[in-house]
Chains A and B, each alone.
Chain A
């Protein structure tokens, strides 16, 4: 899209193999494309990111490759690709066709070298590895071997698939590459929340926070804001990328670090805990500007475009409540005491539910006004997987949707990392034109409805929405799975719950019935006559119960 269309491996472009981490598969493309565009690096995909951890692309120089890797969180290592093949002969032929003038300098007399054999999804013994190294003896090695600190590190990489129980004898693919540079995976440990000074119940995982900053193309000197700042975990990653950071949140106690500690071992908040101290912990205190207690339903910012990137994780109403200032009381209640109340410094305003669709509508309208042109908005959108359709992603005429990738949270719900780019300033009357579907608002409700699912329903959902063993979504497989699997309407869920309730009622009404037998019936298939009869009898009741359940789940 952004790169030259030539797919030939010419003198000017070189092929690079990126060995990616075997997680967050859907985020690889958005991350790499964002970084490449940010640094103005032309890239051409040869082998786009997919299920396996290997990505091949063409870049103009090793310098570009280094720049790309200087930010990538999802790439483990980058290699100059010397050859690849599905069997040894193919690999060797491919390596032999690699331009000699590119290979020779690295294997020259004055260079020390080493060869490493790395396998994915299989452990090779030392003798097997040695055999494989010896098979590469046709290469024009002239220098001497240095296993500790070699100038040239060649890696023979073998891919044995993703199934740990079905490991083939011969690898599916083999690559030979010269190691160039590592990605930024070490930051995951360095910035781990385990050692973060101040965290809360929904602090953003370090890796994801960095991926968000990459999607937002955060660069030194940028202004980055987080309107739902919480404990500031996203600001940490943005500040690490050189941005000056602002954050705001409606929760006074969170910003002043007076909430209950969420660490298992911690009883009380320490004196030094704050968003500022989180930045200071990594020597980023110079990047900290301010945090403000503010209601996103009524932001107090002057309407000028001064923000380079908005990166945020709004509350979903599951672990963090969704609130804005307001009152359900009739306003006249306040008439007398209003003056007094306003001037009190210690008054905590009453809050009402801030519906999820309003949260996103306000966020997007805010972005349309305050982002600079070309600035990015990156946020998480919680979705109920059953309902999800691309049309659920909010829109605004001034914002262009760039990426949208899924992270699976539970069997039934996930969140999508959405990246927007501002293309122009809004005209008069266009400032509040964000489109958000009502489905967004019903996420919370559905989430809690789904927690009432029976075992079988859960299992059938699992098969419909596959995840790998780490719980990652497999978006590229999703379509196929959806077509093949049986479709279950979520509306059935509370229904079956009420049936169970009805059955329990029958138990208490008919003391003669064997309880154990009935519980078995519950577990067995739908063909059970008793169950069917009860269903028919209680249809109207069910509907009522369902409504009740709905109402209950809305009120916090």
Chain B
């Protein structure tokens, strides 16, 4: 699971969970992969991200990479920042571990890089 996916995932499907976001990452195995830098794609995705969730996720997997606390203005022209974001969003992959619901502490396992967000029949 890449951190860009984490930024979009919630546990709001669980009964009585309101936000379910951001999910806490417990990373047992993290892998770095090489992905071609696509400036345009990263710039397009940034406005859709939840910045707090991103810094939280980066912290969880130990890739803080001195991200600023808030998204700075004029990020489109800041190549360093874009490359850093590219790395954190697309190149850091959680292979094994789990995602934890912030409200119920329900854990969603990640295995072989694939999160399992299925709820049990008693939770829906």
Contact = CB atoms under 8 A, between A and B. Distances in A.
B117 A246 contact: no
- The secondary structure that dominates the B interface is loop
Interface stretch (A5-13, A191-199, A323-331, A534-542): A323-331
Contact of B13 (A223, A286, A295, A326): A295
A304 B114 contact: no
A293 B112 CA distance: 12
B117 A292 contact: yes
B119 interface: yes
Contacts of A138: none
A286 B123 CA distance: 36
B109 A345 contact: yes
Interface in A289-304: 289-295, 298-302, 304
Contact of A290 (B2, B107, B111): B2
A256 interface: yes
Interface string A231-257: 000000000000010101010100110
Contact of B50 (A291, A292, A302): A302
Interface residues of B, number: 41
A456 interface: no
B5 A302 contact: no
B107 A292 contact: no
Contacts of B116: 252, 292-293
Interface residues of A, number: 40
A298 B121 CA distance: 12
A326 B45 CA distance: 34
Interface string B37-50: 01011001100101
Contact of A221 (B1, B44, B119): B44
B41 A221 contact: yes
A347 interface: yes
A292 B115 contact: yes
A293 B13 contact: no
A331 B5 contact: no
Contacts of A292: 1, 5, 9, 114-117
B114 A301 contact: no
A306 interface: yes
A347 B120 contact: yes
Nearest to A301: B8
9 nearest interchain CB pairs? Answer: A298-B13, A327-B121, A334-B122, A290-B5, A306-B48, A293-B116, A221-B41, A294-B117, A349-B120
8 contacts: A221-B40, A221-B41, A252-B118, A300-B11, A301-B8, A302-B9, A326-B124, A342-B120
Interface of A: 220-221, 223, 244, 246, 248, 250, 252, 255-256, 286, 289-295, 298-302, 304-306, 325-327, 329, 331, 334, 338, 341-343, 345, 347, 349-350
